[in-house]
Amino acid sequence: MSVDLVYPPPNISPKTALQISQRAPQVLKSSSQTLPFPLSLLSGDDTPEKWTTYENLFVSCLRTGDDKSARQILDKLLRRFGDKNERVMAYQGMMAEANAETEQEAIKMLREYGEELESDPTNLPIQKRRIALLTSMGKIQEAISMLGDLLVISPTDAEAWAELSDLYFGQSLYDQATFCLEEVLLVMPNAWNMHARLAEVIYLSTIATSSDKPGDLLRGLAESMRRYCRSVELCNNYLRGYYGLKVVRPSLLPKAPKSEKNTPDAAYSDLPLPTLSTVERLHELATAKLGEIVRKSAAGEKGWEGYDGAETIAARELLDRDTKSISS
Amino acid sequence: MGQPVVQTIHRDPALFYWILLPITVVMILTGILRHYATVLLQTTPKKQTLGKIREHRSLMRGVHLRTNANVISPSAFESRKAYLVSGYKDGSFLADPEGRGKAPPNPMSDPAMMEGMMGMMKGNVAMMVPQTLIMGWINAFFSGFVISKSSHHCLLVKLPFPLTPQFKAMLQSGVGTRDLDVRWVSSLSWYFLTLFGLQPVYQFILGSDNAANQMAQQMAQMNPAAGGLGAGNDPDKLFLSEAENLEVIEHDYILKGIEERLLASLA
């Protein structure tokens, strides 16, 4: 399977990353065969696509440890954009981070980033590198506060909001994580994976914090279920969305009202609670869809091969658990 | 009325090789030259200050909240709205909170604005100078071919299809004969045709985002303020109007009735 280097897929798996980085020498070789000077003016290969390809190659090369190709690509980027370019500075930092082996070297990198930011506080790529380095060093609190500062300057940065949400989630600060994910959704309202992620956070926080308050519990579960619904409405074959619908159901089912009329007071909830029959029908739909996804992706049918292996295994296991509880 | 007399003009076949091709080649080369001249003349856009970035993106946040309000719950929306509206009204997102209410500075005195205008000037110069030069060159160089007494412009090609007289101005500019068949094209007109028709050639040679074409540049000059805060606009006024927009918005939660929607569409 070949990967488009200009628009690579999100969440590149280690295998794909290796495939990409193995193409690096070939791409580097083909681009070095340019015409001599006066003729080279007649062939404009200085396209944005070319440099995007280089950037993607660079990241994959660093990931797979192909430092030689990464160095070559970085040199090309340096020659083209100079060492004052913000993105190039960030890539140089990445290269140095990849080669930093000891704690001291990482701390030295942090200090360098700090100096660069002091001379130019608007350098967002470097700021993000510093946060990423702090996260990987385990200094989550510092990373969170710096990310907060970054988002005060640039509150429309969905990537930064998502990262902050993950950091908060790792610290079990569920309300903050929810808030950040809502901000992500405000920037990109149709990102179904973000809807599903928000549903997951809401579900886990509800289970963790309000299991002794039945009203809050019910509301959180209903909210989570509806978020999952939204994510599969946006992407009709989204595995995580259906998986979530199935996971939410057992805790929601015993408390769901029988009919619309005896839903608890809507005042403390944004929406009335879903009825028992709705929950059941959604569960049927999710089961059917999950079964279809697992079957077709296992058979490797055309158009169904993009699913993550671990996710389909988990879905199969969830379905098996169902059949066992019915048969026993 | 009888059949109109078929006009035959005897012209040297060498005209084709010595005028038509040179003009075309020269036009292509000028385009390439213009591309590189524009690239060289380009100044890197000046860096915005931290406050300006914050001001702009805070405004964008309000716009996002307004357009995508329905994806978040009413309570989440209300709290965000309250925060942004009060911030907008207090001017706490402004890059220069002290300068509120003052008249916007004269764009001529602002060095950043001047730089932008210089950039525009450079683009204009890179476009106008070669155009003028080449037109003069063609006029001076290729107009000596006497074909008839009244016309001293060379006629290059005869188009293989008939045209209405309205095309005369386009195809025979500079030729003072009323009765000449419109299918004859003069050198000056050939210049204009290539001027506007060479874009695909440039795309082939230089890639899709070249600066060789003057049409694209003219388009860009039509709305110079596209993207970013409009030049000369008072950010405080923009904030206040955005606050007003946010206050009147009607919230319709997207998760309302989602189960039925989903079941109806999928089951």
- Average pLDDT (A45-61) is 84
* B229 reaches A (C-beta below 8 A): no
Number of folded domains in chain B?
1
DSSP annotation of B165: G
Dihedral pair phi/psi, residue B157, rounded to 5°: -125, 155
Taking CB atoms and an 8 Å cutoff, what residues of chain B touch A189? 68, 70-71
Q: Which residue has the higher pLDDT, A163 or B220?
A: A163
- Average pLDDT (A71-85) is 88
Strand, coil or helix: A326 = helix
Quote the pLDDT of residue A242.
92
Strand, coil or helix: B156 = strand
Residue B222 within any structural domain of the chain: yes
Rounded to the nearest 10 degrees, what angle do helices A276-299 and A309-327 cross at?
A: 130
DSSP of B42-107, one letter per residue? Answer: PPPPPPPPHHHHHHHHHHHHHHHHHHTGGGS-HHHHHHHHHHHHHHHHHTTT-S-GGGTTSPPPPT
CA distance A156 to B64: 8
| pLDDT surpasses 90 at A119 | no
ipTM above 0.90, yes or no: no
CA distance A241 to A247: 10
Smallest CA–CA distance from A158 into chain B, residue: B61
Q: Provide the pLDDT confidence category of residue A177 given band limits of 50, 70 and 90.
A: very high
Residue B109 within any structural domain of the chain: yes
| pLDDT surpasses 90 at A148 | yes
User: Which of B49, B64, B75 has its CB closest to that of A187?
Assistant: B64
Quote the pLDDT of residue A30.
76
Question: Where does residue A131 rank: exposed (0-12), middle (13-18), buried (19+ CB within 10 A)?
Answer: buried
Residue B195 within any structural domain of the chain: yes
Q: Where are the domains of chain A?
A: 1-28+49-81
Quote the pLDDT of residue B226.
42
Q: Which residue has the higher pLDDT, A242 or B128?
A: A242
| pLDDT surpasses 60 at A92 | yes
Is there a contact between A318 and A247 (Cβ–Cβ < 8 Å)?
yes
Residue B163 within any structural domain of the chain: no
Taking CB atoms and an 8 Å cutoff, what residues of chain B touch A35? none
Contact check, Cβ <8 Å, A285/B262: yes
- Summarize pLDDT for B165-213 with one digit per residue, the tens: 777 776 766 666 666 777 777 777 777 777 778 878 887 777 666 666 5
| pLDDT surpasses 70 at A40 | no
Q: Per-residue pLDDT for chain B (267 aa), expressed as one digit of tens each? A: 455 666 666 666 676 677 778 888 888 888 888 888 877 877 777 777 888 888 889 999 999 999 999 998 888 899 999 999 999 988 888 887 777 766 656 656 666 667 777 777 777 777 788 778 888 887 776 665 544 333 444 566 667 777 777 777 767 666 666 667 777 777 777 777 777 788 788 877 776 666 665 555 555 555 444 444 444 577 888 899 999 999 998 888 888 888 888 888 886
Chain B (50-69) residues lying within 8 Å, Cβ to Cβ, of chain A:
50, 53-54, 57-58, 60-61, 64-65, 68-69
Dihedral pair phi/psi, residue A165, rounded to 5°: -60, -45
Q: Which residue has the higher pLDDT, A37 or A279?
A: A279
Quote the pLDDT of residue B223.
47
The rounded percent of chain A whose pLDDT value lies above 90 is 35
Question: Where does residue B183 rank: exposed (0-12), middle (13-18), buried (19+ CB within 10 A)?
Answer: middle
Quote the pLDDT of residue A266.
47
Most confident of A117-131, A204-218, B139-153: A117-131
Dihedral pair phi/psi, residue A42, rounded to 5°: -85, -10
CA distance B76 to B70: 10
Which helix (H) or strand (E) segment holds residue B158: the answer is: strand B155-158
Q: Using alpha carbons, list the distances in angstroms from residue A131 to A102, A143, A175.
A: 18, 5, 22
Residue B7 within any structural domain of the chain: no
Whole domain around residue B125: which residue ranges?
Answer: 14-157+188-266
Quote the pLDDT of residue B195.
77
Which helix (H) or strand (E) segment holds residue B186: the answer is: strand B184-186
Taking CB atoms and an 8 Å cutoff, what residues of chain A touch B208? 47
Residue B178 within any structural domain of the chain: no
CA distance A283 to A247: 9
Instruction: Enumerate residues 6+ apart whose C-beta is below 8 A from A328.
Output: none
CA distance A10 to chain B (A): 23
The overall average pLDDT reported for chain A is 85
Q: Which of B80, B56, B39, B159 is nearest to A157 (CA)?
A: B56
CA distance A14 to chain B (A): 34
What count of other Cβ atoms lies within 10 Å of the Cβ of residue B252? Answer: 9
Q: Residue B50, CB half-sphere, CA atoms under 13 Å: how many?
A: 14
